[in-house]
């Protein structure tokens, strides 16, 4: 089993988001970066699969040199080797093009992404990769078992859960609940230093969207407090004043 896990580096969830350059750039000053949490679940599940039935797990990331600590962390968690496509990840299409370009000659049986990155939330790389590599793609999976070239999957659907199968090779995107994230141990951290991390230059694909500006939500007005004794009055306010019920 040869597995590829696509990871991206994102700001830590506690980050207070601000922008610079006249609201056109995310302000990275003082921001702690982590592996996207859904990608980390994907990586852990991929490792569980290869530990059970043999195989290798490679991680790939599209990013500049400053993303290497996150890639090394993925190696410390247990990935066998890593590929960094040396480019700014401009949009989901560009990222998928770069990964597809690398993966097309590598015969991966299974490609994982996270369900979405928690910064730009595009959620489209899995589907784009599926189409570009002519593989089925299944998003928001909460369970995966591989048996005889078939992936047995569970995925979230609106208001419920679906069980399905997909023929390998296929692309899946990890949803919470897939597994518990793994914390790297000292041996893993030491081993990660010498694991192969290949840097590949991007191909000529162009992004087809660009972010022109950012905006923070308008601050809320003062909170109207209701006394505990009059708690029932909330319903009247929601009906007559806020008009939401």
Partner 1 sequence: MNILVFAENQDGIFKKSSFEAVSYASQIAASNGGQVTAVSIGNVSSEKLAELGTYGADSVFTYTDAIFNQFTGEAYSKALAHAAKNKSADLIIISNTYSGKMVAPRVAAKLNAGMVSGVISMPETTNGFKVKRMVFSGKSFAEVAINTTVKVLSITPNSFTISENPKTAAIESMDAGLSANDVKTQTVEVARASGKIPLTEAELVISGGRGMKGPENWHLIETLADTLGAATACSKPVSDIHWRPHSEHVGQTGITIKPNLYIAIGISGAIQHLAGVSSSKVIVAINKDPEAPFFKAADYGIVGDAFEILPKIIEAAKAFKSA
- Answer yes or no whether residue 239 interacts with partner 1 by CB under 8 A: yes
Q: Contact between 184 and partner 1 (CB under 8 A)?
A: no
With CB under 8 A as the rule, give the number of residues binding partner 1: 80
Distances in Å between the Cα of 191 and the Cα atoms of 29, 32, 45, 98, 205 are 30, 24, 20, 27, 34
Which residues in 194-213 contact partner 1 (CB under 8 A)?
208-213
| Alpha helices per DSSP H over 60-150 | 68-77, 92-103, 125-132
- Among 162, 185, 193, 199, the residue binding partner 1 under the rule CB under 8 A is 162
In the list 7, 75, 87, 126, the residue contacting partner 1 (rule: CB under 8 A) is 126
**C-beta of 133: minimal distance to partner 1 in Å?**
10
Q: Which residues contact 230 (CB under 8 A, 6 or more apart)?
A: none
**C-beta of 8 vs 192, nearer to partner 1:** 8
Q: What is the rounded distance in angstroms from the CA atom of residue 5 to the CA atom of residue 142?
A: 16
Q: Is 3 in the site for partner 1 (CB under 8 A)?
A: no
Which part of the chain contacts partner 1 (CB under 8 A), choosing from 70-78, 79-87, 194-202, 230-238? 230-238
In Å, what is the CA distance from 50 to each residue of 18, 44, 238? 40, 10, 53
Q: Which of 107, 163, 183, 194 binds partner 1 (CB under 8 A)?
A: 163
Which of 46, 125, 117 minimizes the C-alpha distance to 80? 46
């Amino acid at each position: 089993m040869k597995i590829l896990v696509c990871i991206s580096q994102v700001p830590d969830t506690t980050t207070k988001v601000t922008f610079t350059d006249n609201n056109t750039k995310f302000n990275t000053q003082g921001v702690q970066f982590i592996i996207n949490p859904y990608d980390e679940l994907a990586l852990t599940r991929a490792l569980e699969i290869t530990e059970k039935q043999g195989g290798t797990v490679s991680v790939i990331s599209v990013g500049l040199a400053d993303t290497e600590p996150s890639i090394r962390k993925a190696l410390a968690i247990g990935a066998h080797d890593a590929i960094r496509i040396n480019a700014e990840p401009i949009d989901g299409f560009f990222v998928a093009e770069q990964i597809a370009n690398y993966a097309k000659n590598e015969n991966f049986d299974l490609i994982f992404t996270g369900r979405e990155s928690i910064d730009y939330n595009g959620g489209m790389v899995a589907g784009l990769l599926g189409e570009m590599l002519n593989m089925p793609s299944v998003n928001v999976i909460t369970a995966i078992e591989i048996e005889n070239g078939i992936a047995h999957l569970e995925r979230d659907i609106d208001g419920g859960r679906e069980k399905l199968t997909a023929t390998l090779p296929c692309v899946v995107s990890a949803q919470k609940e897939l597994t518990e994230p793994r914390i790297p141990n000292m041996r893993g951290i030491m081993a990660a230093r010498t694991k192969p991390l290949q840097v590949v230059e991007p191909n000529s694909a162009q992004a087809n969207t660009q972010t022109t500006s950012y905006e923070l939500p308008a601050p809320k007005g003062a909170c109207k407090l209701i006394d505990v004794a009059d708690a029932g009055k909330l319903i009247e306010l929601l009906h007559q004043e806020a008009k939401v019920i």
